[in-house]
Structure 1
């Protein structure tokens, strides 16, 4: 579960790490320092990291206190921003100052977040490492400092060491307001051996949970696996996709996001901007092989009307105002709520930013691809029983992940999801299209885009991962539905018990007839405790139900699991519910659907219900 974010943007702490992701305080001049800031309520906010020398002990501004490097990074959805400082820069700066044999250097890393960011302002160098001293030097003045934003964490903090010692590498003519800061000291020593980074390396980002599947050995070659698109490659991809459809090429040429309704800023509507965002998205969401990239691009190309808009054209849908937005056309308020919880971005009251903020346009698509498709909680996805023929023909069978979230009411909610990358590994465009679109809209076009992209990628001929083993999709002995019902409360009218389903979070109540147990048909009493097989039932009165049977209760008795509320609805059967009171269960239809959906996905073969009793 992702913790609920604080209301006020805040930097909680900063830590220093070696390149092997172990915490550090003493570093070598010949390695990189990894600085990691932990924040709350700051998703996509830009932080400024300053590495600066503190060789002179004591307070006050001194020319020996110099900035070594300044880097910027945005806070990710886990509340973390990370940069890497090459410490060789510190050595080079000391050499420029005439120090040849530097044995030790004390430093600080200061992290700052500025509110009300101003653009297109001229940068002014304040601290020149080699200043020319005028004949009549002016009287020294204390360096100007940025104002602190009203009501900010910074307003209640003392001056940072960076501010106390006048470390100002570059300032803007018009200051931003400092909202929050944090800093941490460290040491660089000449004799300190550099840390050896592991061959595979670890991402500087904090990973919320392990990815569902990684490509074995992270193979790299001349193909597009495990690397970014170059400007030339991505331009060719866009041009070839547009060239594949005469009408689209005629109407739009190679221009991106030029539709009348597209709210993206003009400056973002370039192939190069899209390339950078796509490369970042692919790294973030494990879209790391040729075939995964092919299928993702095919889907978003169609969803955005061939990269012409980030906003659905229709304006009179029932789900207004939560229209399709972003590269994957995030739709419906429920999905916006889940993405809000995941990202920390308020896209419920400010839903338009999913189509106008290029970071969110892309991030929402990566999120949907990896964990945004809402399905029932369970172990595997095998498609619904009423799936269209083109879906059933693919024999879907993929592992599910359970996602926990809440929408601000502190009530924990869960859903199951499938990483679409796993389906892409099997090259099943029809299944991906069904999960993205929910139907066959544009199915042939999506197939065509996959074909075109394979030609551009020269897939599978040049792909080093084309022989990657497929997902394990066969059922295991544990992939059977087992419902466990414990009878706990009985009255003269009914019996109510609690049930669970093995290997799931599905639970609730069953209401049955009153006791005692009986095997005789036609008597308004409950069936005996024991283990029962399950099979689907379809009849004139109960169109869809689950039938219980075993050696003592025959199929002909038609003891079913179906919907209802009281003993008057049972007729010897079991009534599902999500809540209970005396002689009553509520939320029956929703709970029954949850049960049925799970049974459909796992399969009815080998399913059973085990009835026991522990009366209170």
Structure 2
């Protein structure tokens, strides 16, 4: 019969026979911040964020302006739909996202988190809160028209963190080898290019292909920002600092803060 005596450190007194491994509670809690996410994890993140993000509207009965969760607009923010609204604007009818299932999103997301070292609670909470707002609550991967966008079309903001201006598309292509710039524009020094092939620009892959939309975001997060590796800012910085590193300002800061607070609770549980 086999017998062994355990020492206080959990090792057998008979060398090499067996070893007990005790998992600390802290390690269990942090595993969600380091492991691959499941489809159910991602579905829950989308659900929690949309149910706790609000829009203002006048109550038809009381006539008072009240806040309502996004999920009360089911045609726009259904729990089971993601990245489905590029074509809301007729200008982007050709930029519908391919394979925008939760399964595909989760698979590509895990690749991005690993590749760009978004691998602890702070980094993930900051990254998710930023891309949630950048993609209009996980519904769009292309920036809407505004007073500025004609200046930088066709290289407008696309992806989960808006890749904007020809120069940044060029930098991403040279760094990764992924073709997102027209051949005639690849070496251009003009930051604002009016491509003659607007309907066939390579840049549209950033908005239509989830793999590229996520990869550009990961690349910008680690290599593209003028503030340096945003992982390092996320480790010690505030939502204000991360937002500035992402978009150079403080756009939708209150929403980014709210999303971050929700996400840090999810990733730390």
Q: Which residue in 2 is equivalent to 1:364?
A: 216
Distance 1:448 1:242 in 2: 11
TM-score normalized with structure 1 length:
0.31
Matched, 1:222 2:48: no
Count of aligned pairs: 198
| Distance in 2 of aligned mates of 1:265 and 1:236 | 21
Q: Does 1:236 align with 2:44?
A: yes
Larger strand share, 1 or 2: 1
**Alignment pair present for 1:439 and 2:261:** no
SS at match of 2:82: coil
Match of 1:352, SS state, is: helix
From the superposition, tell whether residues 265 and 440 of structure 1 become closer, same or farther in structure 2 (CA, over 3 Å). closer
What is the deviation of 1:220?
4.5
How far 1:433 sits from its partner (Å)?
0.3
* Structure 2 counterpart of 1:249: 71
Shift of 1:435: 1.4
Confirm or deny: 8 A CA contact 1:228 1:279 kept in the other structure.
yes
The structure with higher relative contact order (CA 8 Å, sep 6+) is: 2
Alignment gaps of 5+ in structure 1: 1-218, 375-416, 463-616
Whether contact under 8 Å (1:312, 1:329) holds in the other structure is: yes
**Aligned position for 1:303:** 134
2:52–2:69: 8 Å Cα contact kept in structure 1?
A: no
What corresponds to 1:258 in structure 2?
Answer: 84
Matched, 1:277 2:108: yes
Q: Is the 8 A contact 1:242 1:249 kept in 2?
A: yes
CA distance in 1, matches of 2:125, 2:106: 14
1:265 Cα shift? 3.6
TM-score of the two chains, using structure 2 as the length reference = 0.69
Provide Cα deviations, 1:170-195, integer angstroms capped at 9, x if missing partner.
Answer: xxxxxxxxxxxxxxxxxxxxxxxxxx
Matched residue, 1:43: none
Q: Distance in 2 between matches of 1:285 and 1:220?
A: 22
Q: Which residue of 1 aligns with 2:152?
A: 319
Asked if structure 2 preserves the Cα contact closer than 8 Å seen for 1:291 and 1:427, the reply is no
CA contact (8 A) 1:264 1:358 kept: no
Q: Over residues 432-482 of structure 1, what are the superposed CA-to-partner deviations in whole Å (9 max), with x where a residue is unaligned?
A: 10111111210111001001112222x3xx5xxxxxxxxxxxxxxxxxxxx
Q: Which has the higher helix share?
A: 2
Other-structure match for 1:454: 264
Contact 2:84 2:97 (8 Å CA) reproduced? no
Q: Does 1:338 align with 2:163?
A: no
Name structure 2 gaps, 5 residues minimum.
1-25, 54-67, 183-201
What residue is the counterpart of 1:373 in the other structure?
225
| CA deviation map 1:550-604 (0-9, x unaligned) | xxxxxxxxxxxxxxxxxxxxxxxxxxxxxxxxxxxxxxxxxxxxxxxxxxxxxxx
Q: Any residues of structure 2 matched to 1:202-601 within 5 Å, and which? A: 220-223=27-30, 224-245=32-53, 246-251=68-73, 252-254=77-79, 255-259=81-85, 260-261=88-89, 263-266=95-98, 268-314=99-145, 316-349=149-182, 350-374=202-226, 418-457=228-267, 459=268, 462=269
For the pair shown, which has the larger CA radius of gyration, 1 or 2? 1
Q: Following superposition of structure 1 onto structure 2, how do residues 89-168 of structure 1 map, counting pairs within 5 Å? A: none
Offset of residue 222 of structure 1: 3.4
Runs of 4+ in 1 over 6 A off after TM superposition: none
Aligned 8 A contact 1:234 1:271 in 2: yes
- Report the Cα offset of residue 342 of structure 1: 0.7
Q: Deviations over 1:313-352 (max 9, x none)?
A: 1164311111100000100111011001011122111111
Structure 1 vs Structure 2 CA RMSD: 1.8
